[in-house]
Chains A and B, each alone.
Chain A
Amino acid sequence: MRMRGGFRRLAETDRPAVRFRIDGRAATALQGDTVLTALRINGAAARIGEFGDGPRAGFCLMGACQDCWVDLADGRRLRACETPVSAGMDIVTTPMDETLWPGAS
């Protein structure tokens, strides 16, 4: 059995929709969702581990573990579990291309 992956809504579904983007693709969440909820409802992770250990999607949901930092396309970084998602937010979960760094081959 293959699971769908991500969060599942059980209550509070009667809220206005919020449109945002995950890695350039259009996605939908509900007003009052945190950025992490918005990502997980869409089955997305928050980031790729910096040390080659795969995707991460938060852990504690209370701002303690620092696992859910995400990048926005405008360069801002935020803790996804304690930041509400907002309309038009452009979230980047893919890692930086290190081959673009000066001096990298």
Chain B
Amino acid sequence: MARRIVIVGAGPAGIRAAETLAMAGLRPVVIDREPASGGQIYRRPPPGFSRPASALYGEDAGKATALHDVFDGLVGRMDYRPRSEVFGITGDIVHVHDGRTLTDLPFDALILATGATDRIAPLPGWTLPGVHSLGGAQIALKSQGCAIGHRVVLIGSGPLLTLVAVQYADAGADVAAVLDTASRADLARGAVHMMAARPGLLARGLRLRARLRRHGVPYCNGVRDLRIEGAQEVERVVWRTAGGAVRSAECDGVGMGWHLRSETQLAQLAGCALVWDAAWQQSVPMADPMGRSSRRGVYLAGDGVRILGADGAEFAGRLAALACLQDLGLPAVADSAPLLGRMRAMRRFARGLAIAFPYPDRMCRALPDDTLLCRCEAITAGQFRAVLARSGAAEPNRAKSLSRVGMGRCQGRYCAAAAARILAAERGLDLAEMPGLRPQAPVRPMPMSLRAAPSPPARTEGDAT
């Protein structure tokens, strides 16, 4: 019997899934967009760069190199396709391209480890040159040895906000201010859950905060009325403090982000159902504790299904592979019970994070009319509201058709969360009841010049002759 298993993504979840399947003697196909494995979190710098892992990944250097080594050791036991991306899924076939050729890969089991992108809330001025997502600010440093500006302000909420600030300050960047929209009360409420679930990780977060203080970087909680100003590029950030005072900081770089959002497009195209997550205030794919989606044969692992971070993604990748083996009637190569136990603690911790660093819901609902909501199509919040008022559109897909918000090249990755909140505010709707944007293939723009692959897809373990 043919066992064609396709893994999408070679970050922590995809790597552990591939390792587990290889242990069972299977030969998975691993498709990854990047030139090297590691995902965004453990992204490897380009050839010719010399900083050691300790400089790139800090306290997680051991985990990063362990994952890189595991994956490199799987050569020959998997069909690894770097610089390739799955742009669509039809039935039991994933559609892949590598920029030149187009390949259809039929699968018996599919493990999606698609990761996450920054969860963004639009701000006045967020399209100015010099403004980047927090994840982007981190990639500039990790993968290019650069800060996004000569003087940088970091905005948002979540663990990445403090982490990027510390990494920047440690590397010698000038961080003018860190502006957190979460209040100290939010943080205290969330810390209770984090303390109970993973006290070591909470302590690490507090150590990072202390380190930031030693660098002399101001950290402001409960900021509001944020705006980025500048004529042709970023010149300053203006905000109101929790106490009501208006402050500003001159800068030429801004990093912004409110934790992460799962990349769910491929899961949705595969037919996996989504469910509203009240703690995270966003829709996520349905999955059982092992990572089985609502669709038979499709498994979900890592930040693409639940934002648990890199450690959680490693467990989830193993679990998804074990579920896959079980469903194929193959012997287990590891015990899932201890992994499931660790995952429960991770989920409790993540709930604490969600409480401590909430998405700025009210800020989005009150986004000023002249602020660009959709950066791809350059639609302002006011234009979006006008379309809603004129059309009576009462759900995001209709609103997208009429307004073009979410229709651009990013497919709503960076505006859909805010657009949904504006729609909810204008129509008096409950976010939890609102459907999300339907994803469309290709999930990223792709060239029209692709040719069909000349030979049939590589055979995987167990193929009949």
Q: Which residue of B lies closest to A12 (CB)?
A: B145
- Contact pick for A59, options B141, B377, B414, B445, CB 8 Å: B414
CA distance A15 to B144 in the complex (A): 11
Q: Is the CB of A61 within 8 A of B48?
A: no
Pick out which of these stretches binds chain B: A19-27, A29-37, A94-102. A29-37
Which has the most chain B C-beta neighbours within 10 Å: A4, A9, A12, A34?
A12
Pick out which of these stretches binds chain A: B122-130, B317-325, B425-433. B122-130
- For A, the interface residue count at a CB cutoff of 8 angstroms equals 45
Q: Is the CB of B378 within 8 A of A51?
A: yes
Which has the most chain A C-beta neighbours within 10 Å: B127, B129, B375?
B129
Q: Is the CB of B252 within 8 A of A53?
A: no
Q: Give me the interface of B with A, judged by CB distance under 8 Å.
A: 33, 40, 45-51, 55, 117-118, 127-133, 135-137, 139-141, 144-151, 171-173, 232-235, 250-253, 263, 372, 375-378, 408-410, 413-414, 444-445
A72 to chain B minimum Cβ distance, whole angstroms, is 14
Q: Is the CB of B232 within 8 A of A3?
A: no
Q: Is the CB of B444 within 8 A of A8?
A: no
Q: Can you list 28 A-B contacts with CB-CB less than 8 angstroms, sorted by A residue number?
A: A3-B252, A5-B233, A6-B130, A7-B253, A8-B150, A10-B141, A11-B171, A12-B145, A13-B145, A15-B48, A15-B49, A34-B144, A49-B127, A52-B378, A54-B127, A55-B233, A56-B127, A57-B130, A59-B131, A60-B135, A61-B136, A61-B139, A61-B140, A62-B135, A64-B444, A65-B413, A66-B376, A66-B444
Please encode chain A, from 30 to 48, with 1 for each CB lying within 8 Å of some chain B CB and 0 for all others: 0111100100110001000
Q: Which residue of B lies closest to A44 (CB)?
A: B129
Q: Is the CB of A53 within 8 A of B372?
A: yes
Please encode chain A, from 63 to 88, with 1 for each CB lying within 8 Å of some chain B CB and 0 for all others: 11111010000000000010010000
Q: Which residue of B lies closest to A14 (CB)?
A: B50
With contacts A3-B150, A31-B48 taken as known, whether A62 is within 8 angstroms of B251 at the C-beta atoms is no
- Contact pick for A63, options B46, B51, B444, CB 8 Å: B444
B273 to chain A minimum Cβ distance, whole angstroms, is 23
With contacts A59-B133, A66-B376, A66-B444 taken as known, whether A32 is within 8 angstroms of B48 at the C-beta atoms is yes
Q: Which residues of chain A are within 8 angstroms of B145 by Cβ–Cβ distance?
A: 9-13
Q: Which residue of A lies closest to B252 (CB)?
A: A3
- Contact pick for B232, options A10, A55, A59, A84, CB 8 Å: A55
Q: In terms of DSSP, what is the predominant structure of the interface of chain B?
A: loop
CA distance A103 to B117 in the complex (A): 42
Q: Is the CB of B46 within 8 A of A32?
A: yes
User: A1 in the interface, Cβ–Cβ < 8 Å?
Assistant: yes
Q: Is the CB of B127 within 8 A of A60?
A: no
CA distance A64 to B378 in the complex (A): 17
Q: Is the CB of B172 within 8 A of A54?
A: no
CA distance A5 to B131 in the complex (A): 11
Q: Is the CB of A53 within 8 A of B127?
A: yes
CA distance A7 to B234 in the complex (A): 12
CA distance A56 to B235 in the complex (A): 15
With contacts A45-B129, A49-B378 taken as known, whether A3 is within 8 angstroms of B147 at the C-beta atoms is no
Q: Which residues of chain B are within 8 angstroms of A5 by Cβ–Cβ distance?
A: 129-130, 149-150, 233-234, 252
CA distance A9 to B147 in the complex (A): 6
B337 to chain A minimum Cβ distance, whole angstroms, is 35
Q: Which residues of chain B are within 8 angstroms of A66 by Cβ–Cβ distance?
A: 376, 408-410, 444-445
CA distance A96 to B67 in the complex (A): 46
Question: Ordered nearest first, which 4 A-B pairs have the shortest CB separation?
Answer: A3-B252, A12-B145, A57-B129, A66-B409
- Contact pick for A11, options B51, B127, B409, B414, CB 8 Å: B51
With contacts A3-B252, A15-B48 taken as known, whether A65 is within 8 angstroms of B130 at the C-beta atoms is no
CA distance A53 to B408 in the complex (A): 15
